């Protein structure tokens, strides 16, 4: 049923140029070359090393046409997924400008059913198309995901985020007039429907690299709110570019477009794996500090003075290191002590006492079971308001707030009534 709806949605979502603006021919020496069907764009002569024409077979049996534009000064490669109602013949001049101005190698391709590519356009065909082109970049040009930036325009944001969600070490992503989903372009909905295509609203959360969002404020095809929502949902959002007065298909003519895009490329070139990890850890630390020392609620030691409880679960959500505690604080919220000194199972845990490993109880249910110690449960002296030298003469006393069997260093406090009177009488006779 979902497949049928996907094919139905494809009839309204894809509008390949008809006839195509170019076709592919084979030279006498067996190389592929592109020939323009109009005078609007001119391709390099056959044998020009700056352009490679490729035909790539996808896992769904279609043959996809791709252009690889080589820049000898480039360090990164841009994989461009174009928008609707366009093909490589119309975009070739733009590719030349991006290659030169951004100093990148550029790979552009036509979806199944577009340009010289075979098959019919559909959501899942575009996913297979971009996967095949990426594999071609790996095998034919030695481009790894660490040196790759994915660029998706409009409908192209769908296959772009599909591939980006599967590449954890990708260098960066650019979303140009991106969409939240196909159905959300037509109407404002908050739920997922079986007939919807390109669910970018869910895939953007899985992208682990910097994401640049470019959108025009006057876009009458894909509302600016789509780009704004994608930017807010990105895990590592880059400074967005909102082009004031920009529409859906004319953002390239604005000077700030190429300037901002060039700065993003430069930042990605200067970004190493080590610096990216450092930045991520700084962001995690900043979020933890804003929430408090610990991310869990039961035990909150004052880092780094108190021992930090540890997690032995596989999720890796805890970052503490106390060997006497096990369990995940971020998930199950119930730390337990494996040491023999801890036998309290009360859920009202807060801090530690005695061995500095056992969580203490803040409710009254556990107080009668606690033995007296020199560091827990002593009231403040009413005479000097200090906590020092509070010694209890009763070995079995619970030392709770209602206990009066304590004596401060200043002489304040009270012992048992009989013992206090006896000491007072001895003091007078001695004087």
Q: Give the DSSP letter string of 232-297.
A: HH-SSBPPPEEETT--SS-GGGSHHHHHHHHHHHHHHHT--HHHHHHHHHHHHHHHHHHH-S-SSS
Nearest to 81 by CA among 111, 113, 121: 111
Is 72 among the catalytic positions? no
Nearest to 308 by CA among 287, 331, 325: 325
Of 41, 117, 122, 154, which is the active-site residue?
A: 154
Of 219, 310, 324, 360, which is the active-site residue?
A: 219
Per DSSP bridges, beta strands 241-243 and 211-216 are parallel
Is 324 among the catalytic positions? no
What the block records as the tokens of 194 is: 């079986």
SS3 413: coil
Of 82, 215, 248, 260, which is the active-site residue?
A: 248
Is 82 among the catalytic positions? no
With b meaning 16 or more CB within 10 Å and e meaning fewer, what string describes 249-272? bebeebeebeebbeebbeebbeee
Give the C-alpha separation, 172 to 169, whole Å: 9
What the block records as the tokens of 337 is: 């002590």
Active site residues per annotation: 154, 219, 248
């Amino acid at each position: 049923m979902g497949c049928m709806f996907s094919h139905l949605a494809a009839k309204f979502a894809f509008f390949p140029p008809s006839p195509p603006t170019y076709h592919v021919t084979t030279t006498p020496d067996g190389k592929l070359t592109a020939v323009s069907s109009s005078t609007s764009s001119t391709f390099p002569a056959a044998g020009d090393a700056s352009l490679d024409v490729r035909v790539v077979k996808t896992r769904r049996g279609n043959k996809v046409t791709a252009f690889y534009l080589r820049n000898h000064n480039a360090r990164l490669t841009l994989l461009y997924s174009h928008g609707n109602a366009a093909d490589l013949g119309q975009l070739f001049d733009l590719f030349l400008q991006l290659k030169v101005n951004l100093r990148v190698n550029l790979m552009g391709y036509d979806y199944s059913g577009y340009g010289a590519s075979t098959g019919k356009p559909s959501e899942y065909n575009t996913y297979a198309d971009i996967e095949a082109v990426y594999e071609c970049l790996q095998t034919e040009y030695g481009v790894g995901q660490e040196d790759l930036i994915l660029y998706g325009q409009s409908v192209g944001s769908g296959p772009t985020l599909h591939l980006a969600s599967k590449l954890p070490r990708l260098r960066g992503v650019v979303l140009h007039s991106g969409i939240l989903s196909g159905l959300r372009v037509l109407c404002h909905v908050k739920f997922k429907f079986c007939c919807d295509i390109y669910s970018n609203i869910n895939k953007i959360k899985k992208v682990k690299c910097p994401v640049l969002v470019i959108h025009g404020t006057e876009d009458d095809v894909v509302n600016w709110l789509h780009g704004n929502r994608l930017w807010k949902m990105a895990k590592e959002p880059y400074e967005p570019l909102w082009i004031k007065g920009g529409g859906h298909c004319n953002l390239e003519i604005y000077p700030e477009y190429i300037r901002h895009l060039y700065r993003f490329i430069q930042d990605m070139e200067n970004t190493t794996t080590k610096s990216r990890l450092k930045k991520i850890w700084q962001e995690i630390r900043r979020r933890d500090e804003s929430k408090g020392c610990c991310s869990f609620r039961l035990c909150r030691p004052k880092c780094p003075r108190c021992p930090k409880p540890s997690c032995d679960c596989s999720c890796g959500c805890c970052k503490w290191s106390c060997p006497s505690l096990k369990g995940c604080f971020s998930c199950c919220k119930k730390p337990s002590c494996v040491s023999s000194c801890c036998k309290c199972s009360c859920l009202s845990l807060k801090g530690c006492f005695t061995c500095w490993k056992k969580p203490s109880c803040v409710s009254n249910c556990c107080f009668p079971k606690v033995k007296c110690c020199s560091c827990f449960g002593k009231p403040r002296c009413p005479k000097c308001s200090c906590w020092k030298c509070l010694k209890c003469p009763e070995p079995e006393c619970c030392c709770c707030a209602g206990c009066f069997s304590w004596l401060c260093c200043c002489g304040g406090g009270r012992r048992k009534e009989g013992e206090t009177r006896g000491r007072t009488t001895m003091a007078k006779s001695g004087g």
